[in-house]
Structure 1
Amino acid sequence: MSAIVWIAAGSLAAWLWLLLCQGFFWRTDVRLPPRREPARWPSVCVVVPARDEAEVLPASLPSLLAQDYPGRAEVLLVDDGSADGTGDLARELARRAGGLPLTVTSAGEPPAGWTGKLWAVRHGMGLARAREPEYLLLTDADIAHAPDSLRELVAAADTGGFDVVSQMARLRVESGWERLVVPAFVYFFAQLYPFRRIGRVGTRTAAAAGGCVLLSARAAERARIPDAIRQAVIDDVALARAVKGGGGRVWLGLAERVDSVRPYPRLVDLWRMVSRSAYAQLRHSPLLLAGTVAGLALVYLAPPVTLVAGAAAGDVTAAAVGGSAWLVMTATYVPMLRYYRQPLWLAPLLPFTAFLYLLMTVDSAVQHHRGRGAAWKGRTYARPDAVAGDEV
């Protein structure tokens, strides 16, 4: 057999393994588990770290204040050194909207060894501790919640006995680049951390989606959250691993009515979003980077390349095997496009999107080795610690 056939066969074998043996990652039916209303609704503090979020806050904060939660609940917004009036805007929105009580506070600049977001979360959790809540909802300032979101999260945690219940918010998909890149972002995340495995007892797979994390206060204390993960750039995954590593139970699934309102209209916006943490995911390891690039090339780029090369060379076997691998890849992407209500003709373009992600990952490594590291809203973390125990 020719080299093209061998490459195509390797890619097809990889896709058959992903299809059947990687936790059915491509399915999008992992939603909040069966739940019932508890006899007594536990108390909750909602902690919202916010840095320069005046643009999105009017679309997100009122949705938190409007929660119809039957128990005691309040919102703590931590203004993380904003320069755009985020804190004052939050107070004004609360004055207009009413609803749950809102406290706006400031954490100050993070000390050495802390990322800004986790320092703000630590400050908010410290304030919450005085209220003695049974649960903490950690949610980003760009996340809008349906009125029953908190009620459903708490009911799911109480019914299922989970210490963490997290929903991956539905990201905004409006611009052309968002349509091309955003559904693939969630698809790749689910491939790395299959949702079905996360909820199983006895598995090592653990992850959460930082935009919406309901966390048991007892589990947070047991796992020393957030101090134990204070340098983590990928803080949501680190949080879930710390909780699960301490014997807690974690659940993650796709959201139905929890939405991100942050726009990423241009490719450069999406590029920054991905590249700021991609190399941290690889533990800043050149060997893992090389393996990732080779793996992406074999799994995502080889199918169309071997199809075209085989057809051009008259190698029917190479073209057929490469085409079969591309077909399996396309089929696994269709459910995610349906979840995001996007046209299915985008599915065959996944190799191109994967190539963009490959370039973003390489760029993330380049920026790290130039000393720029992860950069977000005016802060740069030159050498952020990688999350320990990345095995899936």
Structure 2
Amino acid sequence: MIAWLVIGGVSLAAWLWLLLCRGFFWRTDQRLPQGSEPRRWPPVAIVVPARDEATVLPESLPSLLAQRYPGRAEVILVDDGSTDGTGALARRMAEEHGGLPLRVCTPGEPPPGWAGKLWALEHGIAEAGERDYLLLTDADIAHRPDSLARLVAAAQEGRDLVSQMARLRTDTGWERLIVPAFVYFFAMLYPFRWVNRMSSRVAAGAGGCVLVRRTVLVQAGGVAAIRGAVIDDVALARLIKGAGGRIWLGLAERVRSIRPYPRLADLWQMIARSAYTQLRHSPLLLAGTVLGLALIFLGPPAATIAGAVLGAPLPALLGGAAWLLLAATFAPMLAYYRQSLWIAPLLPAVAVLYTLMTLDSARRHYSGTGARWKGRSYSEGRTWN
């Protein structure tokens, strides 16, 4: 009885702290600032690393070519060793759709120590030359026609890196259950308000849509400074902020991912390939994360149910209050993704899945497989082709 009372009380205290003292991570109001129209629209290069992306390019690439940008802009697609005709398809689509000019280049296999995507970005940025801004966007990201102009306008207000977390797909049951929680957990780890505050050391970005000022990137050491990073978006944001740059991160309204994750196995692979890297491959951090997740997410329903079964109203009341706070903080993210709020009380079950994915990520690391993507295996600081 005492144990359940303690679990319920600690869980409630933890959720009160998270609600009020964790940068209001649960709010979804960090959206792209409305910048004033620049007197001069700076030249921009849109750099798209692409490896075997022929299935998604027909929807994403036309959205880039169709950008209504008042200044000079071009798209540079870096065909990173594709075997499905990605480069040839991109050229055909540019001929058919018109719009912004497109260049397709091939960097070759990454040298030792380079992650494949970062090697492709390095090559694309070199191809871009002396552009004021670089929009680094993934091949599975579709943009509204005014996306680039709005990003540049926001950056011109004194920001050196502007990143938007693309709205992910939520078409299948597993996507609806897991995707909003994925973004929620990311915001819990990197509260957007703290990221956007110069006085805070917290830095993060969303790799699908990052506009960066080229001169600041060069001064910070360029992509080469993070060449082995598996979680490249967070590494890039830390690089820019660490060099004194001002960064901004928020949720997207005009940028969306079209990559499907229809099965649990697909979502599991997406999360497990980098979860242990997020913990810096530390067994101590892994143990602390598992215990923390258990207390914060499993403690409330466990205390509620145990109190009800044992006829102990106080543990049930404390656990129920914590469970209610847990669900309430998840509700804004569900609303952002236009999902039913009945999913909110199920967050503890999703947290169990995330815990298992994190443990599997650690297992992969120690078994030597590391993070895998498109036929390549990565481990922080080391790359296998």
* Partner AA of 2:240 in structure 1: V
* Partner AA of 1:296 in structure 2: L
Deviation (angstroms), 1:34: 3.2
1:280 aligns with 2:277: yes
- C-alpha separation in 2, matches of 1:179 and 1:224: 39
What is aligned with 1:142? 140
* Partner AA of 2:345 in structure 1: P
Deviation per residue, 1:160-187 (Å, 9 max, x gap): x000000000000000000000000000
* Partner AA of 1:281 in structure 2: Q
Deviation per residue, 1:308-365 (Å, 9 max, x gap): 1111111111111011100000000000000000011011110000110000000000
Q: TM-score, normalised by structure 1?
A: 0.96
CA contact (8 A) 2:34 2:150 kept: no
Q: TM-score, normalised by structure 2?
A: 0.98
Q: Secondary structure of the residue that 1:34 maps to in structure 2?
A: coil
Equivalent residue runs for 1:20-59 within 5 Å:
20-59=20-59
Structure 1 vs Structure 2: percent identity of aligned residues?
67
Equivalent residue runs for 1:119-198 within 5 Å:
119-129=119-129, 132-159=130-157, 161-198=158-195
Deviation (angstroms), 1:225: 2.1
- C-alpha separation in 2, matches of 1:45 and 1:257: 19
Deviation (angstroms), 1:385: 3.3
Deviation (angstroms), 1:224: 1.4
- C-alpha separation in 1, matches of 2:200 and 2:44: 28
CA contact (8 A) 2:165 2:209 kept: yes
Deviation (angstroms), 1:304: 0.6
Among 353, 374, 383, which residue is 2:371 paired with?
Answer: 374
- C-alpha separation in 2, matches of 1:54 and 1:310: 54
- C-alpha separation in 1, matches of 2:349 and 2:329: 16
Q: Secondary structure of the residue that 1:289 maps to in structure 2?
A: helix
Equivalent residue runs for 1:193-204 within 5 Å:
193-204=190-201
1:385 aligns with 2:381: yes
What is aligned with 2:314? 317
What is aligned with 1:15? 15
What is aligned with 2:2? 2
1:71 aligns with 2:66: no
* RMSD, matched Cα: 0.9
CA contact (8 A) 1:69 1:150 kept: yes
Q: Secondary structure of the residue that 1:294 maps to in structure 2?
A: helix
1:87 aligns with 2:87: yes
* Partner AA of 1:41 in structure 2: W
What is aligned with 1:209? 206
Deviation per residue, 1:209-230 (Å, 9 max, x gap): 0000000001110111210100
Q: Secondary structure of the residue that 1:258 maps to in structure 2?
A: strand
Deviation (angstroms), 1:252: 0.3
- C-alpha separation in 2, matches of 1:149 and 1:133: 18
Q: Secondary structure of the residue that 1:209 maps to in structure 2?
A: coil
Deviation (angstroms), 1:268: 0.2
Among 266, 271, 287, which residue is 1:269 paired with?
Answer: 266
Q: Secondary structure of the residue that 1:78 maps to in structure 2?
A: strand
- C-alpha separation in 2, matches of 1:200 and 1:307: 38
* Partner AA of 2:97 in structure 1: A
Q: Secondary structure of the residue that 1:136 maps to in structure 2?
A: strand
Q: Secondary structure of the residue that 2:273 maps to in structure 1?
A: helix
1:111 aligns with 2:111: yes
* Partner AA of 1:384 in structure 2: E
Equivalent residue runs for 1:266-345 within 5 Å:
266-345=263-342
What is aligned with 1:360? 357
* Partner AA of 1:18 in structure 2: L
CA contact (8 A) 1:280 1:385 kept: no
- C-alpha separation in 2, matches of 1:283 and 1:331: 31
Q: Secondary structure of the residue that 1:13 maps to in structure 2?
A: helix
1:234 aligns with 2:231: yes
Deviation per residue, 1:46-78 (Å, 9 max, x gap): 000000100101010000000000000000000
- C-alpha separation in 2, matches of 1:322 and 1:100: 56
Deviation per residue, 1:82-131 (Å, 9 max, x gap): 111110111111111000000001111111101000000000011112xx
Residue-pair matches, total: 382
Structure 2, unaligned runs of 5 or more = none
Task: Give 4+ residue runs of structure 1 displaced > 6 Å after superposition.
Answer: none
Deviation (angstroms), 1:42: 0.3
- C-alpha separation in 1, matches of 2:374 and 2:298: 33
What is aligned with 1:247? 244
Deviation (angstroms), 1:14: 0.8
CA contact (8 A) 1:64 1:147 kept: yes
* Partner AA of 2:194 in structure 1: R
CA contact (8 A) 1:232 1:385 kept: yes
Deviation (angstroms), 1:303: 0.7
1:346 aligns with 2:343: yes
- C-alpha separation in 1, matches of 2:297 and 2:373: 29
What is aligned with 1:390? none
